[in-house]
Amino acid sequence: MGLTMTDSSFVDMTTYWYGGFWDFLAFTTQMILILVTGYALVKAPPVEKLMVRAASLPKTQTQALFTAMLVSAAAGYISWGLGFIFGTLFSIEIAKRLKTADFRLLVAASYTAVIAILPAGLSLTAPLLVNTPGHSTEDKIGLIPLTETIFSPTMLLMAFIGLAIVLYAYYKMKPEGDEIVPFDSKENGEKTTFEIKIGDTFAEKLNHSKTINYILVALGVIWIVLYFINNGFNLELNILNFIFIILGLALHGSPEGYISAIASGMSSAAGILIQFPFYAGIMGMMAGSGLIQIISEWFVVISNEYTFPLFTYYSAILVNFFVPSAGGQWQVQGPIMLEALQSFDLPAAVVVNAISVGDMVGNLVQPFFVLPALGLSGLKLKDIWGFCMIAFVLLVILGTIIFLCTPWLI
């Protein structure tokens, strides 16, 4: 596009690409930490024990379905990384104990529940990013408070109505009788395990020291308290990751135990690690060549003040197929839509919200974030994709209504 729609040459585009390639390194680390610290929390012994106990409660497929979805949504509200991993492992534990529950349904439903609640989730990437000092568009929009994004009426309505809709949809979709596919211990189940071995050296013993661990936890808690005293409930990416790290250390009981859990979860972050520099390169080409300005003007031409939020939402769903990570998508699409926004009397939070929701809804049919769930469960994409597609259609319709009727409720 840069070659055909701008005056940039092939060499120019290559230069822009490499120039932007390393721009998202700090952000890449923040995204990886959200995912792997969520995984480490799930693998903490107290959390695992609680999960196993809770998984024994459902006695029917309907109870199992609602329990898996509501618990997954609660975990996803805290952190998308925690929700995706915990939801899958919780579904596995339920299905192990309840052979009358369809395993495919539970895994798909838990994933969908996290997607549905995320518009109001505390770890939603774009809202946290634009509330983090030094973000890439701060010079244009400043810092946007969470009251205008994840705590706004638009996002709360999308999240909680959406969750209610998918709960009902999965209830109606549940297989019965011979159609039920139960958990199979030979084909399904968690693949990732880790062991803790205590060495003989002084350094290795320090790594397993509970005293050292709780000193670190105490220092972390002191800083977290000071942060909220000084800043109020002002969540941003760095403090969120710090909270998860300190909580993980506390629950694992030793630095070595926590490190082992982090190490076992790192494979789930491989896609983020490799793809984000390429997203940064794409952004470099679009900014350097002037494509951002051209695309922004196109959106201005086809939109008005009332339809711009809706077109932003639809375009975010489309872009999600090519840039499936919320953080990567915001860095690529955010500047384009913010530029187009200048022609309308709308707050910048409208763009943040529309892109965030479009990205989340698109993840129901884009397999990037479901890959960890498939790896942990042993299922294939075809096993859950049909369920997710129905949920996708329903949430697209809900989003259409929301962004036509409520985008100014900030």
pLDDT tens-digit series, residues 138-185: 888 999 999 999 999 999 999 999 999 999 999 999 999 899 999 886
Q: Each residue of 99-117: pLDDT tens digit?
A: 999 999 999 999 999 999 9
Neighbours of 299 (CB within 10 A): 19
Residue 242: per-residue pLDDT: 94
pTM (2 decimals)?
0.80
Q: Which of 153-157, 198-202, 213-217, 293-297 has the lowest mean pLDDT?
A: 198-202
| 245 pLDDT more than 90 | yes
Contacts by 200-203, CB closer than 8 A, 24 or more apart:
none
Over residues 319-376, the pLDDT tens digits come to 887 676 667 778 778 888 898 888 888 999 999 999 999 999 999 997 667 877 787 7
Contact 359, 158 (CB under 8 A): no
- Rounded to whole angstroms, the Cα distance separating 80 from 126 reads 13
C-alpha span between 133 and 410 (Å, rounded): 21
Domains of the chain: which residue ranges?
A: 9-194+267-405
Tell me how crowded residue 313 is: count the other CB atoms within 10 A of its CB: 27
Average pLDDT, rounded, for the chain: 86
* Sequential DSSP letters for 54-123: HHTS--SHHHHHHHHHHHHHHHHHH-HHHHHHHHHHHHHHHHHH-TTS-HHHHHHHHHHHHHHHGGG-TT
Q: Which of 237, 14, 264, 46 is nearest to 128 (CA)?
A: 237
**pLDDT tens, residue by residue, 15-41:** 988 988 888 788 788 878 888 888 898
Helix, strand, coil percent values for the chain (each to nearest 5): 75, 0, 25
- Classify the C-alpha dihedral 395-401-407-410 as positive or negative: negative
Give the pLDDT of residue 188: 58
| C-beta atoms surrounding 161 within 10 Å | 15
At residue 25, the pLDDT reads 84
Tokens coding 246: 């300190």
